[in-house]
Amino acid sequence: MSEKKNRSRLIALSLLLIVALSAYLRLLGIIWGLESGYDHYLNFQPDEYVSIRGMLPTNLLSGKLQAPHAYFEGTFNYYLWALPEMLYELCGGARAGVGRNMPAGHFKFVLLSGKKLRRPAVILLGTAAICVFAVNVHNTSDYLLHFRSNPHYDARWSPEIYSLSHYVNEQGPAFRSIISVDWGLYNQIYALGPKNLRKHMRDYRPIFRELGKKTQQEQSTTLNYVFPEGKSLVLTFAASKETFPETRRNFLASMAAFPKLKSRLLKKFQYGNEEIYEVYEIVRPSDCAL
């Protein structure tokens, strides 16, 4: 009984230390990236730009609560970050604006806007940060409970990613490029891949998502760019498991429309009797223009 009690205490202490370290690191880097400018690729982690772009169209004072640029994580965070912006406006400040390719120094968060607003803004932002922290703790608890009670995984976060990564790392050196067709594949495969293979990995989800809207000639030009001469390894989710269904649909349609690209299904990956991933080999012959 005492051994079980000691084990429970050790687990509780470990979780407390993890939470304390997480809070310390978040506070330590709270102003990281302010001098780098804002765009999807100007920051190491582009989600900051996405969040700020989602927050700015909202205006709590005028009752504009819609967030037209909301990302898939929802709008709760946007409303929290809109509170300091509302305080800034109440004190006579102008609304900030952010656009693509904005250089460093052109956009400053409200905490850097003026000395008079710094203290109330810090209080309000601190409150918002505590709320976000509480939500994260709740989400983490649900995530941990998921392992105990529910054997089903969302396809994007399936443990089968390790089997796929092992296959890619083993077979990848024989291919000119390793192409991720849908969202949720590239980041995981890249993180689990060796350094010498990462330079051949490509995230072409945006290209395949829009490919069906292009003319035949535009598709030809795009596919010439995507598939170099030789063999390419293509990764996608299985049918009904896609994040963006049009990416897989457009990929398969392009293979049918351009038979000069020789394609074949190499392997399917399953988890819990569900097909999760598909791996294709695409061969573009030498001196072959589509």
Q: Could you tell me the domains of the chain? A: 31-149 (no CATH), 155-284 (3.40.50)
pLDDT-derived band at 46 (thresholds 50, 70, 90) equals low
Residue 181 has pLDDT above 70, yes or no: yes
Q: Of 55 and 229, which is predicted with more confidence?
A: 229
Report, as an integer, the average pLDDT of 207-236.
Answer: 94
- CA 284 to CA 179: how far, in whole Å? 14
- How much is the pLDDT for 165? 96
With 50 as the cut, is the pLDDT of residue 115 above it? no
pLDDT in tens, 119-166: 665 666 667 667 777 777 777 777 666 555 455 677 788 889 999 999
CB 263 within 8 A of CB 280: yes
Q: Which of 64-68, 99-103, 232-236 has the lowest mean pLDDT?
A: 99-103
Backbone angles phi, psi at 98, to 5 degrees: -135, 135
Q: Three-state SS string across the chain, please?
A: CHHHHHHHHHHHHHHHHHHHHHHHHHHHCCCCCCCCCECCCCCCCCHHHHHHHHHCCCECCCCECCCCCCCCCCCHHHHHHHHHHHHHHHCCCCCCCCCCCECCCCCCCHHHCCHHHHHHHHHHHHHHHHHHHHHHHHHHHHHHHHHHHCCCCCHHHCCCHHHHHHHHHHHHHHCCEEEECCCCCHHHHHHHCCHHHHCCEEECHHHHHHHHHCCHHHHHHHHHHHCCCEEEEEEEECCCCCCCHHHHHHHHHHHHHCCCCEEEEEEEEEECCEEEEEEEEEEECCCCCC
pTM for this predicted structure: 0.55
- The residue-averaged pLDDT of 92-99 equals 55
Residue 73 scores a pLDDT above 70: no
pLDDT of residue 40: 53
CA 170 to chain centre: 25
What percent of the chain has a predicted confidence (pLDDT) above 90?
Answer: 41
User: From its phi and psi, is residue 240 left (phi > 0), alpha (psi between -120 and 50) or beta?
Assistant: left
Kindly report, residue by residue over 265-277, the tens digit of the pLDDT: 999 999 888 899 9
Asked if residue 83 has pLDDT above 60, the reply is yes
Mean pLDDT, to the nearest integer, of 233-240? Answer: 95
